Amino acid sequence: MTQFSNKSYLTKADPLTGSSWNEVSPKARALFRAITKHTKRRPYIRSVYFKKDKIFLTFFWHHLSQKTYPNQLRRMKYLPCAIELVRNSRLHPTSMQNPNKPAETLHRFSGITKSNKRFMVQIKEFKQTDRKELMSIFPYD
């Protein structure tokens, strides 16, 4: 199985600028707070590909906190691009059953930023409840 699909969504957004945690984190948190203000409960965005289903965002922050600071910084920069990709992409992702948990499906969307940098967005779907979580964002080198 190829990890990177042949089609990538071209975003209009660029990654967040900055070279340190103190520069990037406030911008990413502000973007997340803007999404959080639209709901009383768990923050989510709606995805065109999944027929306007909700994609919840809280698991992403938990997943991000398990990484080292340089890796967190590297991933957090792509948050605006990933949000645009999840909201607007109609391209088919690379989907596979989670090898560790058979009750989950992992969907990987590929994207290219306006500045021509490649990145991946991984969404976890629970088969029984049909609930979808934004799991991970990472640059694809």
The predicted pLDDT at position 2 comes to: 39
In a domain, 2, yes or no: no
1 lies in some domain: no
Determine, yes or no, domain membership for 106.
yes
Query: What distance in Å separates the CA atoms of residue 10 and residue 129, rounded to the nearest whole number?
Result: 31
Nearest-angstrom CA–CA distance, 86 and 47 = 5
pLDDT in tens, 67-109: 998 999 999 999 999 999 999 999 999 999 988 888 999 999 9
Say if pTM beats, i.e. exceeds, 0.85: yes
Confirm whether 4 is domain-assigned: no
Which domain covers residue 55, as residue numbers?
Answer: 9-139
In sign, the C-alpha dihedral spanning 84, 90, 96, 100 is: positive
Q: Is 30 inside any structural domain?
A: yes
